[in-house]
A and B are shown apart, each in its own frame.
Chain A
Amino acid sequence: MTKKDRDQIKSTFTARFVIPVGITLGIWLMLTFLSTHLGWIEDAALYRPAMNTVHVLLFVVIAFSSIAVYSQMFFRGAPLIERVIGCYVTPVAFIIKEIIRVSEFFTFGESLYFGLSPYPFLCLIIGQAGLMAICEMVCRYLYMRKSVAGIRVVTAVPVLMAIISLACIYFMGFWHWGEDVFWLQQTIYILLFK
């Protein structure tokens, strides 16, 4: 999408950034609260499905909400930098929350290093890049179908980004179930903190 195309559909900052990002962040906050506040449900037949639903939704929101955020922002004319920042708001909020949580028992440095753990945090950060790349191409395709503007759907940068992202996630999370990367993380931890 060219700057000219974007300017034609550009909404206000609130509409193109605050609303899509805010809705996602709000849903994440609500689910995070629920994830630790359903213990009052005494009936296991209700409690377990409720907890399972909340945690699956929480996972979907943290890991995949950038699909919704990116496409919303794309079609409201947000420039690339805003789209990227917008997609990272919820995952980064989750990582910061986790860093604060573990700072209860880790030092400040260790807590920051914890926030760089390959699983799940780096996977999450790198995964967002891949999702954004795929979203970019899908949105281009949808935009091209809706408008007369001739734009290239598949270009080198998003394709490369998607491939690198998937490869990194496979290596960090699925290669030997992340065992090798986990021990690499531990080795670096020993070098830095022990």
Chain B
Amino acid sequence: MLRILINALRTGVVTTRYPAEPSVPPDRFRGAPVLSPGSHLPPPTVCPAGAISEYVDTGGRHVALDLARCVFCGRCAEDPWAGAVTMGRDFELAARSRADLRIEVVADDPAPRSGSGRAIAATESAHNPDAEAACASSEIRRVLGRSLHLRHLDAGSCNACDWELTALLNPVYDVRRLGIDFVASPRHADGVVVTGPVTRNLETAVRRTFEAVPEPRVVIAVGACAASGGIVGEGYASAGGVDRVLPVDVYIPGCPPRPEAILFGILVAVGRLDARLPCRE
């Protein structure tokens, strides 16, 4: 016992100060891709997750990147597109609507012939226009205060997002210092954090768990699969994103999002931090 105490004292405090102090990811970290307008941007086929789309109108070729779908593999920033796309360092990407996660720029390709334009369907967003989201946020903040107790809901994740949620409880991130905790029962929860694209075999369990949470309740979609279906997409066994099944309040991009990115998203959900639009330069 004494040895344990001595070891604990010798180890000292390992807890991060984030979000009071910023967290700087390492050099190789791949955050939000930055698309340079007017450059030679990659075609949609480059992206293994289908996050890149394009359409052509009189203004030129518009290239859009859906951060909710992005798996941050960095392939679109490799040759021959290096420079046109660079992997940024921004990881605080949580947003209240799918539309906010769409980055669109015009490429420098030769002006198209008229009539060849074909609009690609904009990101589908089952609900939450901004006003509604802001209203929900203030209601959540009024009822729940600054503390948030969440129930984790694995809806078919690859477990990377789950492990990052576990990491939030380790001595380094220690989310409990911020009044946030993960609880064992949905009845004790103010909301759910969902990982995974919602598999067919879990859809019923996901709905029932959500319904067991008392209102008002928040739904936080963690990671690319939960936010959009990610690399799994829609299929015979996958709904293709949490918002196909539950009303989502906050989307946290990443594959998986690093623990601070999840923490940022949770604080956005409870109204303690504001979502920032991703870099559009």
> Do A and B form a real pair?
no
The residues of B with any CB-CB pair to A shorter than 8 Å are: none
